[in-house]
Amino acid sequence: MELKELLTTITQTVIIPLLIALVGYAVKWLNAKANEIKTKTKDETTKKYISMLNDTIVSAVIAVNQTYVDALKEKNAFDIEA
């Protein structure tokens, strides 16, 4: 096995799933922090912008995830492991 093949295998089996898991935890953490800030502040404008920012980030993460899934479907590589 060549080094390039080994790195590709490691990337596909370890790094990509790890990044996906980290993104999931990051979204949960952002939601928790946004809710914490909203409960601590009394300013409605700040609450509104925190909600908008949180919604934007979550939507972006979902869109990127869907793009990844669509790419797997196009390659017919959408299996349990992927």
What pLDDT digit, counting tens, does each position of 36-71 carry? Answer: 998 998 999 999 999 999 899 888 877 877 777 667
pLDDT of residue 8: 75
| For the chain, percent of residues with pLDDT exceeding 70 | 79
5 in any annotated domain: no
6 in any annotated domain: no
Q: What is the mean pLDDT of the chain?
A: 79
59 in any annotated domain: yes
Query: What distances in angstroms separate CA 45 from CA 34, 36, 37, 42, one per listed residue?
Result: 14, 15, 12, 9
Count up the domains in the chain and report the number: 1
Does residue 10 surpass a pLDDT of 80?
A: no
Domain that holds residue 35: 20-82
Q: Which comes out higher in pLDDT, residue 22 or 56? A: 56
Angle between helices 16-40 and 44-74 (to 10 degrees): 160
Question: What is the pTM assigned to this prediction?
Answer: 0.59
11 in any annotated domain: no
Does residue 78 surpass a pLDDT of 60?
A: no
pLDDT of residue 36: 92
